């Protein structure tokens, strides 16, 4: 029972363009959503989050959008840089006790 789904295993984008990573969820009790980035041989690192009471959160080049009615969130990276190449995990939590992760999307930014 996958409560958080990332349907695109990989995404390739040209440097300077926009990267859009998508995530769908099924549990309507999730109240907080996060994106983590993971480089090879490193642990995941927190990138950006959004509360269920908001529909947008921005931090520099990174913006997360939440559509609660569609149970969908997306991460926009503008402009994309080669250093953004990594695996991106979408995660959700209910009352902050545990994170439920998606399977991840590999982002490749070509220079």
Select 61 or 93, whichever has its Cβ closest to other proteins: 93
CB of 36 to other proteins, least distance (A): 8
Which one of 53-61, 64-72, 76-84, 88-96 is the stretch in contact with other proteins (CB under 8 A)? 88-96
Which one of 13-21, 35-43, 67-75, 76-84 is the stretch in contact with other proteins (CB under 8 A)? 35-43
Q: What is the DSSP string of 7-54?
A: --SEEEEETTS-EEEEEEE--TT--EEEEEEE-TTS--EEEEEEETT-
What span, in angstroms and rounded, lies between the C-alpha atoms of 17 and 4? 26
* 32 contributes a contact to other proteins by CB under 8 A: yes
* 49 contributes a contact to other proteins by CB under 8 A: yes
* 50 contributes a contact to other proteins by CB under 8 A: no
Q: Give the pair of three-digit tokens for residue 6.
A: 């990332």
What span, in angstroms and rounded, lies between the C-alpha atoms of 37 and 47? 6
Select 37 or 84, whichever has its Cβ closest to other proteins: 37
């Amino acid at each position: 029972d996958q409560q958080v789904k990332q349907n695109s295993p990989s995404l390739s984008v040209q440097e300077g363009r926009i990267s859009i990573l998508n995530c769908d969820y099924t549990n309507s009790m999730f109240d907080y959503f996060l994106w983590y980035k993971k480089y090879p041989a490193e642990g995941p690192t927190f990138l950006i989050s959004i509360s269920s009471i908001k529909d947008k959160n921005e931090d520099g080049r990174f913006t997360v959008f939440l559509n609660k009615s569609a149970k969908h969130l997306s991460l926009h990276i503008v402009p994309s840089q080669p250093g953004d190449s990594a695996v991106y995990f979408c995660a959700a939590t209910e009352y902050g006790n545990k994170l439920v992760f998606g399977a991840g999307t590999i982002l490749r930014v070509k220079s």
